[in-house]
Amino acid sequence: MLQWLPENVSTYGQGVDNLFYAIYYLTLIVFILVMGTLIVFLIKYRHQEGKRADYIEGSTTLEIVWTAATTVIVFVLAMFSYPQWNNIKSPTQFPENPDVVVQVSGKQFNWDMTYPGPDNEFGTDDDLELENELHVPVNAVVHIRLTSVDVIHSFFVPQLRLKQDALPNRFIEVWFEATKAGRYEIPCAELCGFGHSGMLGYLNVHAQADYDAWVQERWPQ
Amino acid sequence: MHDNEHHHEESFISKYIFSLDHKMIGKQFLIYGLLMFFIGGGLALLFRWQLAYPDQPLPVIGASQQYLDEGEVVTGADRMWERIYESDKEEWLETNMPSGVITPEFYNMLFTMHATIMVFFVVVPILVGAFGNFLIPLMIGTRDMAFPILNMLSFWLAVLAAIVMAIGFFVPGGHAAAGWTGYAPLSADPQWTGVEWGQNLWAISLLIQGFSSLVGSINYITTIINMRAPGMTLFRMPLVIWSLFIVAILLLLAFPVLSSALALLIFDRLAGTTFFSATAEGGGDPLLWQHLFWFFGHPEVYILILPGMGIASELIAVFSRKPIFGYRSMVYAMIAIAFLGWIVWGHHMFQSGMRPGLGSIFMTTTMLIAVPSAIKTFNWLGTMFRGSIRFTTPMLHGIAFVSMFVIGGLSGIYMANTPVDIFIHDTYYIVAHIHYVVFGGSLFAIFGGIIFWFPKMYGRYMNDALSKIHFWLTFIAFNCTFFPMHILGVGGHMRRISNPQQYEFLQGFEGMNIFITMSAFTLGFAQLILVFNFFWSMYKGKVAEQNPWQVNTLEWEAPTPVPHGNFGQIPTVYRGPYEYSVPGEESDWIPQAQPEHAPATSGD
Ligand code: HEM
Ligand SMILES: [Cu+2]
Ligand SMILES: [Cu+2]
């Protein structure tokens, strides 16, 4: 089933996919065991003439065993997940000194990208605003300041394994490092009105040289 | 028998309409829920069409290709559209689906109302309103609810709520279109959606529905605490009564939270407050809505499943002819779910911008709540272990409940896992999960419960051949409809989009979407069988004896049809509800009300 996952092109995406696979196999095994047991029981203990059910009220040992076992399994799973989650979402754990900082703002029904320009400050004259086109270099740490001017949108790049809601009047920090050049879609994943379907931006991941050329073109020096 | 005589003198109105009898009110809720089920299902089929064939005219009522291309009237539908376009009035069909093509605004309204109706007007009214009302007094051995007038009020408030909700479809600007979760600011200000009174009526209707639930839940709690038959200790109550008891407490505590949130939303929309909008001046916060909604919403989803678990437990014990495996741990698991249910709401908000640290905490609590769900599943298996399983139609539904709930529970683990949820949040993966727990779980339990208790409700059996056809069609079509949605979700297919073909990365899913839509239409069709069977059997079904399935619990002690006041003499309870196949006993069942050592009586 997981071969349907879009190709992963971010540094942390592999970690997410590993967890995905781990849970997939875990749940698959549980599913097969439970369903297998169920089917065996249904066949073996079907009503047969002259045979009665056994009077069994339960088993405290079994109750304790399966309560403890499931608790342990889910906690182990959780332990493996905390670091991944923090790595992706906790601003205190982001790689420092990003190569690129961009503000992405949702607006019915577009993504507005704002580059701070050479002075690295938003709200100055050298800012650059682009509609629906995000340009970043490959293998570089990108910080995104996510916000919205109207309703809630959600910044989703399937190939990066990144999704984060964009809220009005709030600036939410996310980051990524793309590992492969290409043009990827940025759909909006949170219902935001009648134009929600089709609200679509593009992430252009360039080779470093191409990216430098792009910067040079925008801010000639 | 004063009660019985009184019964015959009742007028039509006081017997069938403004009835105070818990059984009649239960049946009223059941028919109400089934009717709403059709409306909710119909809406779903409309938007499923759009997903499979984006921007193509609907079958039957859509205009033909010739008409669209050249204006040439070919079919009856073309004639209708011709008439609509020629009239000066802006007609409803023209606004929402010109030539039979669903507009994006209408699409949003369709899925919003589909979910709203299914959650608030189908599953809760049937599970809690119908089964709660019908079963509680009968199964605990009393004559009626503690507050019969409140009980009637609860039903008529629900009717009022449905009427208000229905009006919303026809007001200018259309019905609510911000999702059943009604996220602010989208829902809080008409400028973002163009929806004016639709959203207001949505909120007002849910407020009324909230009162209905509140009144009902107070009644259930009081009745269960105070009016149990002699000998009916708490731990002799059938699990379905336990589940309804716990659900009533959850309803009592959860609904006021939604009601407050709805009231604030109405203020935001009509009185210019800014509780949920984040204007620099206003100082409100959109996340406040999400916290309030999900603080209600997560207990609500357990309200949707717990009675289903209760019903499935009854079915599995009765038709395995065995006691419930681990009766007490089943009760404790439900209580654990009810407690933990209050501290997991943040798992709906992992990607919302809530602090990431909170995400980790909510992941932990959510993983914990998977434990009682697992316990219950293992206990159902344990109940079948070394049983003598009868594959009656209700039992088939009970087995389907368990297997579908397992899938729904397991898919919950993926989403509870925060890093994985980053990817699958707001995709079809969630849609698959919801439907495996609520349709695969609750609805199969409802179907099973209806067939199981029908003989007590109407004194007749439902037609078994039709029930079996309905079951198998539903089971197969259900899985064909919803299982592939997991795959869509893994592919990143967002929920709530009207046209997946707008996206490059979703191009490969067209065939799957068509397959899902075909299956959904089959699924919808199969439900017609159920409804036909239901109403036909009411009048024409085979007459049932008093206790056709040989069940121990008290509702089967009452004569069929159950008279006003339920029991001639209130039964005394001597044992737990699941004394099946007791060693040394001749019969494989001992009714709860049978005194020690008296010989078991036969089924009629
Ligand atoms: C094993 C137990 C369960 C776990 C671990 C679990 C976990 C979750 C999580 C984490 C979400 C949020 C996913 C997201 O939006 O990204 C979710 C959504 C949902 N769950 Fe469950 N769940 C469980 C059982 C249930 C049950 C029993 C029901 C109802 C009968 C249910 C109904 C829902 C619904 C309706 C939603 C979606 C609400 C929406 O966004 O529209 N879940 N579940
Ligand atoms: Cu959107
Ligand atoms: Cu939840």
Tell me, yes or no, whether A44 and A63 share the same domain.
yes
Lowest average pLDDT, out of A190-194, B69-73, B570-574, goes to B69-73
Total residue length of chain A: 221
Mean pLDDT of B120-145: 96
In the structure, what pLDDT confidence band is assigned to residue B552 with cuts at 50, 70 and 90?
Answer: very high
Return the residue whose CA atom lies nearest to atom 34 of ligand 1: B434
Among A65, A92, A119, give the residue marking a domain's end: A92
- Any idea of the CA torsion for A39, A42, A44, A48, to the nearest 10 degrees? -160
Q: What is the CA radius of gyration of chain B?
A: 25
Q: Which residue has the higher pLDDT, A220 or B168?
A: B168
In the structure, what pLDDT confidence band is assigned to residue B280 with cuts at 50, 70 and 90?
Answer: low
Return the residue whose CA atom lies nearest to atom 36 of ligand 1: B434
Tokens 């139609």, residue?
Answer: B393
Reported ipTM: the value is: 0.95
What's the mean pLDDT when you consider all of chain A?
94
Cα distance between residue A68 and residue B537, in whole Å: 47
Q: Residue A205 phi/psi, 5° resolution?
A: -95, 115
Tell me, yes or no, whether A107 and A214 share the same domain.
yes
The partner residue sitting opposite B426, judged by closest CB among A42, A162, A190, is A190
Q: What is the pLDDT of residue B5?
A: 43
Cα distance between residue B146 and residue B153, in whole Å: 13
Cα distance between residue B367 and residue B415, in whole Å: 10
Q: What is the pLDDT of residue A50?
A: 83
Tell me, yes or no, whether A82 and A109 share the same domain.
no
Tell me, yes or no, whether A87 and A119 share the same domain.
no
Residue B6 has pLDDT above 50, yes or no: no
Structural domain including A7 reads 2-92
Residue of chain A nearest B502, judged by CA positions:
A198
Q: What is the pLDDT of residue B598?
A: 52
Tell me if B371 and A71 make a contact (CB, 8 A cut-off): yes
Does residue B407 have its Cβ closer than 6 Å to ligand 1? no
- Per-residue pLDDT tens for A95-131? 988 999 999 999 999 999 999 998 889 989 899 999 9
In the structure, what pLDDT confidence band is assigned to residue B560 with cuts at 50, 70 and 90?
Answer: confident
Residue B574 has pLDDT above 90, yes or no: yes
Domain CATH for A149: 2.60.40.420
Residues of A with Cβ-Cβ distance to B375 under 8 angstroms: 63, 66-67, 70
Q: How far off is chain B from A220, nearest CA to CA, in Å?
A: 34
Tell me, yes or no, whether A130 and A87 share the same domain.
no
Tell me if B387 and A41 make a contact (CB, 8 A cut-off): yes
Token output for B17 = 């309409």
Tell me, yes or no, whether A84 and A11 share the same domain.
yes
Q: How far off is chain A from B581, nearest CA to CA, in Å?
A: 6
Tell me, yes or no, whether A83 and A126 share the same domain.
no
Does residue B421 have its Cβ closer than 6 Å to ligand 1? yes
Tell me if B192 and A151 make a contact (CB, 8 A cut-off): yes
The partner residue sitting opposite A53, judged by closest CB among B388, B422, B491, is B388
Sign of the torsion angle spanned by Cα atoms B124, B129, B134, B135 = positive
Does residue B425 have its Cβ closer than 6 Å to ligand 1? yes
Cα B240 to Cα A203, B127, B237, distances in angstroms: 53, 10, 8
Tell me if A198 and B487 make a contact (CB, 8 A cut-off): no
Residue closest to B495 by CA, chosen among B113, B108, B195: B108
Q: What share of chain B is helix, strand, coil (3-state, %, to 5)?
A: 70, 0, 30
Residue B47 has pLDDT above 60, yes or no: yes
Among A31, A59, A92, give the residue marking a domain's end: A92
Cα distance between residue B507 and residue B367, in whole Å: 34
Mean pLDDT of A57-69: 92
Tell me, yes or no, whether A167 and A117 share the same domain.
yes
Q: Tally A–B CB contacts below 8 A.
A: 275
Domain CATH for A34: 1.10.287.90
Angle made by CA atoms B416, B417, B418, in degrees to the nearest 5: 100
Cα distance between residue B128 and residue B140, in whole Å: 16
Predicted model pTM = 0.94
Tell me, yes or no, whether A42 and A69 share the same domain.
yes
Return the residue whose CA atom lies nearest to atom 26 of ligand 1: B437
Tell me, yes or no, whether A65 and A135 share the same domain.
no
Tell me, yes or no, whether A111 and A38 share the same domain.
no
Tell me, yes or no, whether A72 and A11 share the same domain.
yes
Angle made by CA atoms A57, A58, A63, in degrees to the nearest 5: 160
Residue B582 has pLDDT above 60, yes or no: yes
Lowest average pLDDT, out of A45-54, B5-14, B125-134, goes to B5-14
Q: What is the pLDDT of residue B4?
A: 46
Residue B9 has pLDDT above 70, yes or no: no
Atom of ligand 1 nearest to the CA of B305: 30
Residue A91 has pLDDT above 60, yes or no: yes
Residue B604 has pLDDT above 70, yes or no: no
Cα distance between residue B126 and residue B26, in whole Å: 8
Return the residue whose CA atom lies nearest to atom 15 of ligand 1: B348
Mean pLDDT of B170-195: 93
Q: What is the pLDDT of residue B71?
A: 85
Return the residue whose CA atom lies nearest to atom 6 of ligand 1: B412
Mean pLDDT of B356-378: 94
Residues of B with Cβ-Cβ distance to A77 under 8 angstroms: 367, 413, 417
Cα distance between residue B399 and residue B110, in whole Å: 32
Among A58, A92, A126, give the residue marking a domain's end: A92
Q: Which residues, other chains included, contact B288 with Cβ-Cβ below 8 Å and sequence gap of 6+?
A: B184, B275, B276
Tell me if A19 and B504 make a contact (CB, 8 A cut-off): no
- Per-residue pLDDT tens for B305-347? 999 999 999 999 999 999 999 999 999 999 999 999 999 999 9
Q: What is the pLDDT of residue B3?
A: 46
Token output for B599 = 């010989």
Cα distance between residue A178 and residue A160, in whole Å: 7
What's the mean pLDDT when you consider all of chain B?
93
- Ligand in closest contact with the CA of B350: 1
- Find out whether A94 and A172 touch, Cβ atoms under 8 Å: no
Residue B2 has pLDDT above 60, yes or no: no
Q: What is the pLDDT of residue B289?
A: 96
Number of domains chain A is built from: 2
User: 3-state SS string over chain A?
Assistant: CHHHCCCCCECCHHHHHHHHHHHHHHHHHHHHHHHHHHHHHHHHCECCCCCCCCCCCCCHHHHHHHHHHHHHHHHHHHHHHHHHHHHHHCHHHCCCCCCEEEEEEEECCEEEEEECCCCCCCCCCCCEEEECEEEEECCCEEEEEEEECCCCEEEEEHHHCEEEEECECCCEEEEEEECCCEEEEEEECCCCCCCCCCCEEEEEEECHHHHHHHHHHHCCC
Out of B246, B294, B402, B437, give the residue to mutate to test ligand 1, the one with the largest number of ligand atoms within 8 Å of its CB: B437
Can you list the domains of chain B with their CATH numbers? 28-55+102-555 (1.20.210.10)
Q: What is the pLDDT of residue B283?
A: 77
Q: What is the pLDDT of residue B361?
A: 95
Residue B1 has pLDDT above 80, yes or no: no
Residue B603 has pLDDT above 90, yes or no: no
| Gap from CA of B300 to ligand 3 centroid (Å) | 8
Does residue B434 have its Cβ closer than 6 Å to ligand 1? yes
